[in-house]
Chain A
Amino acid sequence: MRAPLSWIKEYAALPEGVTGRDLAEKLIGIGLEVETVDEISISGPLLVGRVLEIEELTEFKKPIRYCQVDLGGTVNGIICGATNFVVGDLVPVALPGAVLPGGFEISARKTYGHISDGMICSGRELGINDEYDGILVLTEGEVGQDAGPVLGLDDAVLDIAVTPDRGYCLSIRGIAREAALAYDVAFTDPASLVPEMPSDGPVREVDLQYGADRFTTRVLTDVDPDAPSPAYMVRRLNQCGMRPVSLAVDITNYVMLELGQPLHAFDGTKLTGPIQVRRPRDGEELETLDHVDRVLDAADVVIADDSGAVALAGVMGGLTTEIDEASRSVVLEAAHFQPALVAATSRRHKLSSEASRRFERGIDSDVALAASNRAAQLFAALASATVGGLVDVDRREPIMSIEMAMDMPSRIVGVDIPEETVRAILANIGCSVEGETVTPPTWRPDLIAAIDLVEEVARVVGYEKIPSRGPAMGTGLGLSDSDRLRRQLRRRPAELGLIEVLSYPFVGEGELDQLGLPADDPRRVAVRLANPLSDEQPLMRTSLLPGLLAGARRNVGRGAESVHIYEYGQVFRDVETVDAPVAPAGSRPADDVLDEMLSGLPRQPEHLGFVLCGDWSQAGWWGVGRPVDWSDAVRLAALVARAAGVEVEVAQDAHSPWHPGRCARLSVAGQVIGHAGELHPDVVAAFGLPVRSCAGEMDLSILLDAASPVASAPRVSTFPVAKEDVALVVDEGLAADAVREALRSGGGSLLESVRLFDVYSGPQVPEGKKSLAFSLRMRADDRTLTDEDIAAVRESALAAAGELGATLRG
């Protein structure tokens, strides 16, 4: 809402000399969001002049005029390129020494063969509007007078973002009320200034069925269709950001700005029969003023006559009954529609208007008649209209009163606010207070509970009165074990040399195809957005890899030779169609309703993924680099898991998007947590990454469940270690880790560790076999091992490996 200071001052007795900025600061303090204050900055002489003579200079490519302009004491010769004025017009003239908005300085200068002693200004040059084709021809003012007041240039305009609870501030009336409250000065209600207008004569009957609790019609006849809008009205509409259209439309807009009541003017000759306020009929259609044909919804509210719907109530009028340049008969509607119905209608039709914005937030339920009278007054005065009959259907319920303990504001604000102050503030905002019963005024439909009244008291007292002491201390015990574990998991890859990135969780089928996911892969079961940002990516991610691979590609594209990035975040799994009931608010839903709401949501586990491209260690003065390989990916995954105190089990797998022979399945206690390894060459190519890029992805949620936050301490033996190396020949296809695990479990408690240190296949071992060399470390925690001990451990370890078909290499 744009509000001129001069208009506000008409109703709020602000102190002398208050500027737009002063007022803005006060209004912000009391809870209005003043976004900008437009103060037109013109300095130096700007006068009203009368054009005495126009000499058309024809020797130039464009029309140029040399004008003699009467400025009271002097007549100045001025060059002007506009042609929209005639001899005798009043125009604004900036004289040498004036500075226009944007720092444009006026001086006497020679141009087009003449000395131009000043400038005749356009609206744009003065910063009033965007008109620059022609100069601003004035409709009022005295020759030689300062043009500032005539143009409203001495004024400031406050632009206020009105929050949903303050619908009444979508009017000068409401803003002036707040201004008076902020300065604690007298307020004159403009509605109280409106005279009672005649209400006899022809009427337009109303059949109110639905959607409003107040509906008035007023008939105006003999309207002069050629009467212009007066200058003050045009100026104020302009200041408020509304385009002047015609007198009839301008009056309805002007009254709406003044009082906050949206009005609609129908051409009375185009209406047939009484006005009905009702639900649309099945399949009923309406072409609104914006030339859109609309199929009406059963829940919309329409204004109709015998011909059918003629307006979308509270939102926009219809084309068939629009006022035009010949309209002499007007039916004026002033109503109070139900806010929720207007909001829903506006939303359904994706149509927001000045009227709907006001009705949605709730207008004063008692201003319709005043607004109708005010408009009738203006029609009579400006368009010499005859004011006809009034129909007023009034079905309003009384306003609900609120019980509030008078010490409640002190309790909630934490500052002692005397009871008499509380009562005075409530009275000032328009409430009637009797004992602890408070009845809000008709323009405050937002006040429905005691806490709403507390807020009123608090904002008028002023938030700057609230003191500061130490913070409110909680009762918590610090980070929980799972908080700390989660953090360690999330941080670990960075400690291991990876760089964390964040990507948008939106994906498209194309990316899932690029990953080579089979048709029945669970990662293809994705939640679809109703209104995605891009039609290419309408799905919520089921895996972190598409985002990470795109991120890797972007970094490679920007010149990075090697990229090691990771991301953690939620993925959205196992649900394609979300169906969650929505319980009513206001009380705690029953447990089964809560369960139903929560179980309708997809599973959203936290995943951690990474992509490795290029070299792990790069070449340099120390020698050659080392490319990333599948085992880096497996190692990273294992080290992340270890941050949660969990050892992952690694097994061979073939799983998209990994290389079918270089993919490790990672499990914890038999539950699969993810995969790691080298990416499939097709995927690497599809994403434009360096060959042999690697990746991993794991479900942190499972890891967290499996985590053991408190590790039990190992016994650290100080007895000497015994070392034995064994080389075993096994089938080519046997997993090295299975052999290691057999040795370890076969060796028993004296076998401290088993480590694979060499792998060989070739002429030294039989076809289809490979040799695995392990080093065994043995130690007891109570004695030095004897040769017999060592031999026994070795034999039992080998025996266990032997069950897998392993034989000692000869």
Chain B
Amino acid sequence: MSAPNKNFDPVMPAALDPANLQANVDAALAAIAGAEDLATLKQVRLDHTSDRSPLALANREIGALPPSAKADAGKAVGAARGRVNQALKAREAELKEAERERILTAERVDVTMVNDREPVGARHPIHSISEHIADAFVSIGYGVVEGPELESEWFNFDALNINRDHPARTMQDTFFVGSADSGAVLRTHTSPLQIRTLLDQAPPVYVVCPGRVYRTDELDATHTPVFHQVEGLAVDKGLSMVDLKSTLDWFAATMFGEGIVTRLRPSYFPFTEPSAEVDLECFACRGESVGNPDRPCRTCSSEGWIEWGGCGMVNPRVLQSCGIDPDEYTGFAFGMGIERTLMFRHGITDMRDLVEGDVRFTTAFGMDS
């Protein structure tokens, strides 16, 4: 280090010589450009910008210059250091970018490897379709009602106008509980829920009743002793078979697609009168398979219609058993088998798949159906 130039000696120290400055800048820039990674660049920064670097030393010489020369020298050194710092910054950004690129490239994985570490759940389709049906009816103002599976005989039979001598009331069809005269059975249909509802609520009543029911059938490809139904009931002033038919057509369209309708055939049920069987227009072929051997339909066996359930106007005797005046109120009711609906809707060919609880079957249906 030189002593301060108190004499205003115009002699320029070597460090501040422009050529020298330029050489130092060139050397720094070359080193910066040559740095291939951040660690090297860090060393370059030390070499060329630390207190002991040539440019720092040059900066220190400025203090010894006469005031007239200080400004120019300061500008020159500042410019030189500025160029070096700028180059450092730019190079650092470049190298960081390159480093990130390298890391990201190195971190590439094969995303086709499947992660099935955690189990994935699923709903049983019988329950998810029951909720689906209930939701549809809730959207038109119906309530949802459930009830006990082990039911009083009065609710399951008598109140529904199924008298003591009806063939359904034998051990061939019905599971009796305890002794045959215990007064209780495993409900053979969801219709006792109609009775429970009507005893409970004053009309107007609009409810949908999903539930599990029992008949003494052996399990095979098309029968199961334990199965599910969904039943609808409306009791109000002025309801007629037009309301029944309209509601069934709406239900068919909701479940199977716009334009799908139902067909009613006269039938007999003790708890409705008039009564009808409900056929569903085939949603798969819309009737185009009928008489058309080139386009057979497996869903409807090329008949154009699928048997879906039963329905009718609530028998006045049923209303009376619930303390409702049949001269003031009329009602309609309908019921469908859930298993049957699922089977033709999803092409299930064996009832046993629905009852055995094999997780592979349920998994196929996911969370909704």
B131 within 8 A of A: yes
Q: Are A580 and B182 in contact (CB under 8 A)?
A: yes
Q: Which of A28, A455, A540 has the most CB of B within 10 A?
A: A455
Q: Are A451 and B266 in contact (CB under 8 A)?
A: no
Q: Are B265 and A414 in contact (CB under 8 A)?
A: no
Please name all residues of chain B whose beta carbon is closer than 8 Å to the beta carbon of A598 when the two chains form the complex: 152
Q: Number of A interface residues, CB 8 Å?
A: 108
Chain B residue nearest in CB terms to A622: B117
Residue-by-residue, is A487-504 near B (CB-CB < 8 Å gives 1, otherwise 0)? Answer: 100110111111111111
In the complex where A579-B183, A604-B148 touch, is A339 in contact with B165 (Cβ < 8 A)? yes
B150 within 8 A of A: yes
Complex CA gap A483/B144 in Å reads 8
Q: Are A471 and B150 in contact (CB under 8 A)?
A: no
B126 within 8 A of A: yes
Q: Are A604 and B182 in contact (CB under 8 A)?
A: no
> 7 pairs across A/B with beta carbons < 8 Å?
A344-B164, A413-B240, A469-B246, A493-B121, A527-B178, A583-B154, A589-B154
Please name all residues of chain A whose beta carbon is closer than 8 Å to the beta carbon of B243 when the two chains form the complex: 414, 471-472
Interface residues of A in 554-587 (CB under 8 A from B): 554-555, 558, 560, 562-565, 567, 569-570, 572, 577-587
Chain A residue nearest in CB terms to B124: A500
A467 within 8 A of B: yes
B328 within 8 A of A: no
Q: Which of A455, A466, A471, A578 has the most CB of B within 10 A?
A: A471
In the complex where A474-B234, A475-B141 touch, is A415 in contact with B242 (Cβ < 8 A)? yes
Q: Which of B158, B245, B261 has the most CB of A within 10 A?
A: B245
Complex CA gap A585/B249 in Å reads 33
Chain A residue nearest in CB terms to B274: A455
Please name all residues of chain B whose beta carbon is closer than 8 Å to the beta carbon of A564 when the two chains form the complex: 119, 121
B143 within 8 A of A: yes
Closest Cβ–Cβ distance, residue A627 to chain B (whole Å): 13
Please name all residues of chain B whose beta carbon is closer than 8 Å to the beta carbon of A165 when the two chains form the complex: 268
Q: Are B261 and A468 in contact (CB under 8 A)?
A: yes
B12 within 8 A of A: no
| Cβ-neighbour of A505 out of B126, B137, B226, B265 (below 8 A) | B226
Q: Are B158 and A531 in contact (CB under 8 A)?
A: no
Q: Are B121 and A529 in contact (CB under 8 A)?
A: no
Complex CA gap A269/B357 in Å reads 65
Q: Which of B16-24, B44-52, B54-62, B314-322 forms part of the interface with chain A?
A: B314-322
Residue-by-residue, is B272-293 near A (CB-CB < 8 Å gives 1, otherwise 0)? Answer: 0111110000000000000000
Q: Are A412 and B206 in contact (CB under 8 A)?
A: no
Q: Which of B71-79, B93-101, B166-174, B341-349 forms part of the interface with chain A?
A: B166-174
Complex CA gap A612/B347 in Å reads 30
Q: Are B150 and A476 in contact (CB under 8 A)?
A: no
Residue-by-residue, is B318-344 near A (CB-CB < 8 Å gives 1, otherwise 0)? Answer: 001111000000101000000000000
Q: Number of B interface residues, CB 8 Å?
A: 104
Complex CA gap A164/B270 in Å reads 9
In the complex where A163-B267, A412-B330, A494-B121 touch, is A476 in contact with B116 (Cβ < 8 A)? no
Q: Are B122 and A452 in contact (CB under 8 A)?
A: no
Q: Are A469 and B242 in contact (CB under 8 A)?
A: yes
Chain B residue nearest in CB terms to A605: B148
Closest Cβ–Cβ distance, residue B214 to chain A (whole Å): 9
Complex CA gap A528/B261 in Å reads 44
Q: Which of B1-9, B35-43, B82-90, B358-366 forms part of the interface with chain A?
A: B358-366
Q: Are A503 and B183 in contact (CB under 8 A)?
A: no
Please name all residues of chain A whose beta carbon is closer than 8 Å to the beta carbon of B212 when the two chains form the complex: 569-570
**In the complex, the 7 A-B pairs of residues with the closest C-beta atoms, listed nearest first:** A474-B206, A414-B240, A588-B323, A31-B266, A474-B141, A414-B242, A501-B357
Closest Cβ–Cβ distance, residue A603 to chain B (whole Å): 9
In the complex where A30-B266, A472-B246 touch, is A528 in contact with B178 (Cβ < 8 A)? yes
A652 within 8 A of B: no
In the complex where A469-B246, A565-B357 touch, is A494 in contact with B113 (Cβ < 8 A)? no
Complex CA gap A597/B188 in Å reads 18
Please name all residues of chain B whose beta carbon is closer than 8 Å to the beta carbon of A588 when the two chains form the complex: 199, 320-323
Complex CA gap A473/B124 in Å reads 30
Please name all residues of chain B whose beta carbon is closer than 8 Å to the beta carbon of A617 when the two chains form the complex: 117-119
Interface of B (DSSP majority class):
mixed
Please name all residues of chain A whose beta carbon is closer than 8 Å to the beta carbon of B273 when the two chains form the complex: 451-452, 454-455
Closest Cβ–Cβ distance, residue A444 to chain B (whole Å): 13
Chain B residue nearest in CB terms to A342: B165
Closest Cβ–Cβ distance, residue A803 to chain B (whole Å): 41
Please name all residues of chain A whose beta carbon is closer than 8 Å to the beta carbon of B250 when the two chains form the complex: 470-471
Residue-by-residue, is B139-161 near A (CB-CB < 8 Å gives 1, otherwise 0)? Answer: 01111100011111111001101
Closest Cβ–Cβ distance, residue A358 to chain B (whole Å): 13
Please name all residues of chain A whose beta carbon is closer than 8 Å to the beta carbon of B234 when the two chains form the complex: 472, 474
Q: A163-B268, A472-B236, A540-B177 are in contact. List 17 more A-B contacts (CB 8 A).
A: A164-B167, A411-B330, A452-B273, A463-B245, A464-B264, A468-B242, A468-B246, A474-B143, A475-B206, A499-B359, A501-B362, A531-B176, A555-B359, A570-B212, A577-B178, A582-B153, A585-B163
Q: Are B158 and A584 in contact (CB under 8 A)?
A: yes
Q: Are A467 and B242 in contact (CB under 8 A)?
A: yes
In the complex where A473-B140, A473-B141, A476-B143 touch, is A582 in contact with B127 (Cβ < 8 A)? no
Q: Are B153 and A494 in contact (CB under 8 A)?
A: no
Q: Which of B138, B140, B184, B249 has the most CB of A within 10 A?
A: B184
- A-B contacts, CB under 8 A, total: 308
Q: Which of A449, A531, A551 has the most CB of B within 10 A?
A: A531
A contact residues vs B (CB 8 Å cutoff): 28-31, 33, 163-166, 339-340, 343-344, 347, 360, 411-415, 449, 451-452, 454-455, 458-459, 463-464, 466-476, 478-480, 483, 487, 490-491, 493-505, 527-533, 540, 551, 554-555, 558, 560, 562-565, 567, 569-570, 572, 577-589, 594, 597-598, 600-602, 604, 616-618, 620-622, 625
Residue-by-residue, is B168-196 near A (CB-CB < 8 Å gives 1, otherwise 0)? Answer: 00110001111110111010000000000
Q: Are B183 and A578 in contact (CB under 8 A)?
A: yes
Complex CA gap A412/B245 in Å reads 12
Please name all residues of chain A whose beta carbon is closer than 8 Å to the beta carbon of B117 when the two chains form the complex: 617-618, 620, 622, 625
In the complex where A165-B268, A454-B273 touch, is A586 in contact with B321 (Cβ < 8 A)? yes
Complex CA gap A28/B313 in Å reads 19
Closest Cβ–Cβ distance, residue A542 to chain B (whole Å): 12
B241 within 8 A of A: yes
Q: Are A529 and B176 in contact (CB under 8 A)?
A: yes
Please name all residues of chain A whose beta carbon is closer than 8 Å to the beta carbon of B274 when the two chains form the complex: 412-413, 451, 454-455, 458-459
Q: Are A33 and B357 in contact (CB under 8 A)?
A: no
In the complex where A470-B250, A622-B115 touch, is A578 in contact with B150 (Cβ < 8 A)? yes
Q: Are A585 and B323 in contact (CB under 8 A)?
A: no
B256 within 8 A of A: no
Complex CA gap A620/B170 in Å reads 57
Q: Are B242 and A476 in contact (CB under 8 A)?
A: no
Please name all residues of chain A whose beta carbon is closer than 8 Å to the beta carbon of B170 when the two chains form the complex: 347
Chain A residue nearest in CB terms to B262: A468
In the complex where A466-B242, A470-B246 touch, is A501 in contact with B124 (Cβ < 8 A)? yes
Q: Are B184 and A28 in contact (CB under 8 A)?
A: no
Q: Are A530 and B267 in contact (CB under 8 A)?
A: no
Complex CA gap A62/B148 in Å reads 66
Please name all residues of chain A whose beta carbon is closer than 8 Å to the beta carbon of B322 when the two chains form the complex: 588
In the complex where A452-B273, A579-B183 touch, is A530 in contact with B118 (Cβ < 8 A)? no
Residue-by-residue, is B230-255 near A (CB-CB < 8 Å gives 1, otherwise 0)? Answer: 00001010011111111101110000
Q: Are A499 and B317 in contact (CB under 8 A)?
A: no
